[in-house]
Amino acid sequence: MKIGLIPEIATALLLARLRQTLIAAIGVTFSITMFVTLLSFMNGLNGLLDNMVLNRTPHIRLYSDIKPSENQPINLSKKYSGAYHFISSINPGSNRKELYNVGAIVQALKSDDRVLGWAPKVAAQVFYNIGPIEMTGVINGIDVISEQNLFYFEDYVVEGNAIDLQNIPNTIILGKTAAEKMLAKVGDNIQVTSGSGEQYTLKIVGFFQSGLAEIDKVQSYASLKTTQKILGKPNNYITDIQIKLHDMSMAPKVGKEYSSLFRCDAEDIQTANAQFETGSSVRNLISYAVGITLLIVSGFGIYNILNMMIYEKMDTIAILKATGFSGKDVKKIFITIALSIGLIGGFAGLIFGFLLSKIIDNIPFVTAALPTIDTYPIDYNPVFYIIATAFSLVTTYLAGWFPARKASKVDPVIIIRGK
């Protein structure tokens, strides 16, 4: 058989029923458009929400928890080593909140090539003084540059400059909600009282907004030095070390290792935020389910139209068979028709899907909860386009297969005699 004869016949049949064909193709276009848009949008949103957590959460946090000693004196006594100990009214023995041996930890982190970076932190409980009223707060002493590199600190500073914390002594970046309560502006001075009762005057150099009002009411940021001064501690006083790894999935393992190595507590991101991955995968599942449903529905559209076409084209099928086309050739013709509907409709769908995503990408979306974005998030991942193409071809092939098989089984004698 001449190559290209079957596509040629398929094209002629398609063009003879141009309107029906177009409707079927538009069905595919619509479903592919929605599939691509839905997945791009959903994943854009997922990425945004995930990043909200991931950007700001250390993979491992080293700290020293307040807890009673695991080795009570009686456990050390050899005399009672075989006995079961009942000990009541245990209190945490030491109130040291700082990490021991910070210098050694930093050295170890520097030489560990699994570690992307770390940021030290000092947390200080304070009161903000607003006239006669006192408001509790926490000042996080940070190293602005490493905090910026690892946790995109600047993104959450809505007014003022983050780097001023480092450059100007005795400065503070206040939580937005706290600032509103104090009626404070950038450049104002505020009074804070430390846990030990000493008062300090700090200059506001910026506001900070995380999107969570509870946090913005309490947390504020100052440089490590300023915070250490408020606490009256030396400059090796560090309460937390926040670590980011190259590979996040290693966090539980590395955390455990550091915990025993440095004799401190370690919390990994998987334990701290177990729920967020579940949320992402469920949202993904839903969008795939909706997208695939759309494709299957359009598959039924193609099935119907091809079925109708076969009833209309019985004469044509009979003639093709009488003049020497086999059942297989006839089947190929109808499958070619189905696949061209899928290909053309699908390709248009990819383009429209991309355009619709672009439009959504430009719709303003301003919310206090998400200070870092101003339009709807879209993930332009080529994988969605590949999946959509594959699915459009598979569904149209299947939708074409059954009518095509029916066409291949048409008995030309019945048609030719039946007139």
Partner 1 sequence: MKNDIVLMAQSITKYFTDPLPVKVLDDVSFQISKGEFTSIAGKSGCGKSTLLYILSTMDTDYTGQLWIGGQEMKIKTEKELAAVRNEKIGFVFQFHYLLNEFTVLKNVMLPGQKLAKLSDKDLEEKAMLHLKQLDIESLAKKPAYQLSGGEKQRVAIARALINDPLIIMGDEPTGNLDKKNSDIVFDIFAKLSSVYGQSMLIVTHDEEFAKKTGRTIVMEDGRIISSG
Residue with tokens 């090796």: 236
CB 220 within 8 A of CB 175: yes
Nearest to partner 1 of 306, 318 (CB atom): 318
Structure tokens at 124: 């200080």
What totals of helices (H) and strands (E) does the chain contain, helices first? 16, 10
Q: Can you name the residues that pair with 63 across neighbouring β-strands?
A: 240, 265
Binding interface with partner 1 (CB under 8 A): 1-2, 5, 9, 12-13, 15-16, 315-316, 318-329, 411-413, 416-417, 419
Nearest to partner 1 of 303, 325 (CB atom): 325
Task: State the nearest-atom distance from the C-beta of 340 to partner 1, in Å.
Answer: 15
Nearest to partner 1 of 285, 414 (CB atom): 414
Residue with tokens 């991309």: 354
Task: State the nearest-atom distance from the C-beta of 311 to partner 1, in Å.
Answer: 15
Report CA dihedral (12, 311, 6, 391) to the nearest 10 degrees. 100
Structure tokens at 240: 């937390």
Cβ burial, residue 49 (10 Å; 0-12/13-18/19+): middle
Distance CA 322, CA 24 (A): 30
Nearest to partner 1 of 9, 150 (CB atom): 9
Task: State the nearest-atom distance from the C-beta of 303 to partner 1, in Å.
Answer: 22
Nearest to partner 1 of 394, 413 (CB atom): 413
List of residues 6+ apart from 300 with CB closer than 8 A: 399
Task: State the nearest-atom distance from the C-beta of 397 to partner 1, in Å.
Answer: 22
Nearest to partner 1 of 1, 359 (CB atom): 1
Nearest to partner 1 of 17, 176 (CB atom): 17
Looking at residue 41, its amino acid is F
Task: State the nearest-atom distance from the C-beta of 15 to partner 1, in Å.
Answer: 7
Nearest to partner 1 of 117, 412 (CB atom): 412
Distance CA 193, CA 195 (A): 7
Ramachandran region, residue 101 (left: φ > 0; alpha: ψ -120 to 50; beta: rest): left
Looking at residue 273, its amino acid is N
Task: State the nearest-atom distance from the C-beta of 319 to partner 1, in Å.
Answer: 5
Task: State the nearest-atom distance from the C-beta of 47 to partner 1, in Å.
Answer: 50
Task: State the nearest-atom distance from the C-beta of 300 to partner 1, in Å.
Answer: 26
Looking at residue 274, its amino acid is A
Coil/strand/helix, residue 268: strand
CB 272 within 8 A of CB 57: yes
Looking at residue 376, its amino acid is Y
The distance of Cα 214 from the centroid of its chain, to the nearest Å, equals 23
Nearest to partner 1 of 15, 274 (CB atom): 15
Task: State the nearest-atom distance from the C-beta of 13 to partner 1, in Å.
Answer: 6
